[in-house]
Amino acid sequence: MISPPLMILVNLISSLAILHLHRSAFIEALTDKQKDPFRHKFAPSVVAVHQSCIVVIENMRNLLAQYPTVAPRVFVYSLQAFSAGVSFETGGHDIL
Protein backbone atom coordinates (compact mmCIF):
# COMPACT_ATOMS: atom_id res chain seq x y z
CA MET A 1 0.00 0.00 0.00
CA ILE A 2 1.26 3.47 -0.87
CA SER A 3 1.67 5.88 2.03
CA PRO A 4 -0.46 9.06 1.99
CA PRO A 5 2.51 11.45 1.59
CA LEU A 6 3.78 9.44 -1.36
CA MET A 7 0.31 9.45 -2.93
CA ILE A 8 0.16 13.23 -2.56
CA LEU A 9 3.56 13.48 -4.24
CA VAL A 10 2.47 11.24 -7.14
CA ASN A 11 -0.68 13.33 -7.65
CA LEU A 12 1.37 16.51 -7.47
CA ILE A 13 3.93 15.34 -10.04
CA SER A 14 1.31 14.13 -12.53
CA SER A 15 -0.68 17.35 -12.19
CA LEU A 16 2.44 19.44 -12.64
CA ALA A 17 3.28 17.51 -15.79
CA ILE A 18 -0.16 18.24 -17.24
CA LEU A 19 0.08 21.86 -16.13
CA HIS A 20 3.41 22.39 -17.87
CA LEU A 21 2.44 20.48 -21.02
CA HIS A 22 -0.66 22.63 -21.58
CA ARG A 23 0.72 25.96 -20.37
CA SER A 24 1.68 27.39 -23.79
CA ALA A 25 -1.74 26.60 -25.32
CA PHE A 26 -3.37 27.98 -22.16
CA ILE A 27 -1.49 31.25 -22.52
CA GLU A 28 -2.34 31.47 -26.21
CA ALA A 29 -6.03 30.99 -25.41
CA LEU A 30 -5.83 33.76 -22.81
CA THR A 31 -3.96 36.23 -24.99
CA ASP A 32 -6.13 35.74 -28.05
CA LYS A 33 -8.63 38.51 -28.71
CA GLN A 34 -11.50 36.14 -28.07
CA LYS A 35 -13.11 36.98 -24.72
CA ASP A 36 -13.98 33.49 -23.55
CA PRO A 37 -10.95 31.15 -23.38
CA PHE A 38 -13.33 28.19 -22.97
CA ARG A 39 -14.57 28.73 -26.54
CA HIS A 40 -11.06 28.96 -27.99
CA LYS A 41 -9.62 26.16 -30.12
CA PHE A 42 -7.33 25.40 -27.14
CA ALA A 43 -10.21 25.13 -24.68
CA PRO A 44 -9.20 21.57 -23.68
CA SER A 45 -5.84 22.95 -22.56
CA VAL A 46 -7.57 25.70 -20.56
CA VAL A 47 -9.67 23.09 -18.79
CA ALA A 48 -6.64 20.82 -18.21
CA VAL A 49 -4.66 23.69 -16.67
CA HIS A 50 -7.57 24.64 -14.42
CA GLN A 51 -8.04 21.08 -13.21
CA SER A 52 -4.32 20.63 -12.63
CA CYS A 53 -4.14 23.89 -10.69
CA ILE A 54 -6.92 22.73 -8.41
CA VAL A 55 -5.15 19.41 -7.75
CA VAL A 56 -1.80 21.12 -7.06
CA ILE A 57 -3.37 23.58 -4.63
CA GLU A 58 -5.37 20.84 -2.88
CA ASN A 59 -2.26 18.67 -2.56
CA MET A 60 -0.31 21.53 -1.04
CA ARG A 61 -3.16 22.17 1.38
CA ASN A 62 -3.11 18.49 2.36
CA LEU A 63 0.66 18.53 2.84
CA LEU A 64 0.41 21.63 5.02
CA ALA A 65 -2.33 20.03 7.10
CA GLN A 66 -0.34 16.82 7.63
CA TYR A 67 3.13 18.37 7.97
CA PRO A 68 2.73 22.01 9.03
CA THR A 69 6.40 22.50 9.94
CA VAL A 70 8.02 20.58 7.09
CA ALA A 71 5.90 21.37 4.01
CA PRO A 72 6.60 25.14 3.91
CA ARG A 73 10.34 24.41 3.97
CA VAL A 74 10.18 22.39 0.78
CA PHE A 75 10.51 25.30 -1.61
CA VAL A 76 9.56 23.30 -4.70
CA TYR A 77 6.07 22.52 -3.34
CA SER A 78 5.45 26.12 -2.34
CA LEU A 79 6.69 27.45 -5.66
CA GLN A 80 4.52 25.07 -7.67
CA ALA A 81 1.47 25.86 -5.55
CA PHE A 82 2.09 29.57 -6.12
CA SER A 83 2.47 29.00 -9.86
CA ALA A 84 -0.76 27.01 -9.93
CA GLY A 85 -2.55 29.76 -8.02
CA VAL A 86 -1.38 32.42 -10.44
CA SER A 87 -2.38 30.32 -13.45
CA PHE A 88 -5.77 29.59 -11.91
CA GLU A 89 -6.44 33.24 -11.10
CA THR A 90 -5.29 34.42 -14.54
CA GLY A 91 -7.41 31.94 -16.44
CA GLY A 92 -10.85 33.39 -15.84
CA HIS A 93 -11.99 30.76 -13.36
CA ASP A 94 -15.19 32.73 -12.77
CA ILE A 95 -16.40 31.43 -16.15
CA LEU A 96 -16.44 27.82 -14.89
pLDDT tens for residues 47-96? 998 888 888 888 888 888 888 887 767 766 667 777 777 776 766 554 44
- Those residues whose C-beta lies under 8 Å from the C-beta of residue 41, and which sit 6 or more positions away, are 29
pTM, two decimals, is 0.74
- Those residues whose C-beta lies under 8 Å from the C-beta of residue 66, and which sit 6 or more positions away, are 4, 5
Q: Nearest to residue 8, comparing CAs of 63, 53, 81, 68?
A: 63
CB 59 within 8 A of CB 78: no
**What does the alpha-carbon distance between residue 40 and residue 34 come to, in Å, rounded to a whole number?**
7
- Crossing angle of the two packed helices 4-31 and 43-66, in degrees rounded to 10: 150
CA distances from 33 to 23, 39, 48, 67 (A): 18, 12, 21, 43
The string of pLDDT tens digits covering residues 29-45 is 888 877 788 888 999 99
